Amino acid sequence: MSRAPTFHGIHRPESGYAIISRNLGFRWPAQASALTFPDIRLPQGESLFLRGPSGSGKSTLLSLLSGLSSLQAGEFHILGQAASILSRRQRDRLRADHMGVIFQQLNLVPYLNTLQNTLLPCTLSKTRRNQAHPSPADEARELLTALAIPESHWQLPITRLSLGQQQRVAAARALMGNPALILADEPTSALDATNRDRFVDLLLTQARKRQASVLLVSHDEALAPCFDHELSLEELP
């Protein structure tokens, strides 16, 4: 991925980019040295694969970009907004309204069924509810079908689905209500090669159809050719 030669500062919105980051760093308590991250410029509607070995900071970076953790060093824009200077509450709003996050541990709600889990972003965000087309329920059904979740499973508690099916429901939930940016943390770690390729293809196909940008992090280099851009995180010294 090419880096832009200049960065115009955090107060100037950068249109046309889903993510722009510069000099991001983060140190967990008791960590000897800070994690540092390569600069990112991800144009809207395009996909980026970020590879890195276990422990290199992939989840930490997604946690910063999604606003779950507070930044310690550097600056970044999300969808033209200077996200690194927002309050926690503003970051939560930005994530709920405009980002679909697929967590490494999926974070599906165990007491909700498949359809209810998929609809969750529209329950939490009016923006996502308004963007669901033609309606939240119809879009959820369309996404679950596109992601190959059989209709017989839609009313089942999410815990009754296989791990591969739960990963696809997590992807459907992330896409629900047409967020402009999808952040995915090792979503294929439990899948065999065939299902891994199928999952990534389904995710990217749906994202492209919706003109959403995708940042996916993984240690699995085999995924890289599916993406428009790629970057690497180095192993910690």
Ligand X SMILES: Nc1ncnc2c1ncn2[C@@H]1O[C@H](COP(=O)(O)OP(=O)(O)OP(=O)(O)O)[C@@H](O)[C@H]1O
Binding site for ligand X (CB under 6 A): 28, 31, 35, 52, 54-60, 104, 219
Tell me the closest approach of the beta carbon of residue 82 to ligand X, in angstroms.
23
- Coil, helix or strand for 73? strand
Tell me the closest approach of the beta carbon of residue 147 to ligand X, in angstroms.
23
Name which of 50 and 212 has its Cβ closer to ligand X: 50
CA distances from 60 to 70, 133, 212 (A): 11, 33, 22
Tell me the closest approach of the beta carbon of residue 171 to ligand X, in angstroms.
18
Name which of 29 and 110 has its Cβ closer to ligand X: 29
Name which of 26 and 199 has its Cβ closer to ligand X: 26
Residue 141 CA, chain-centre distance (Å), reads 21
Amino acid of residue 180: A
- Coil, helix or strand for 223? helix
Name which of 14 and 186 has its Cβ closer to ligand X: 186
Tell me the closest approach of the beta carbon of residue 3 to ligand X, in angstroms.
21
Which parts of the chain fold into alpha helices (H)?
A: 58-65, 88-98, 114-124, 126-131, 136-146, 163-175, 193-209
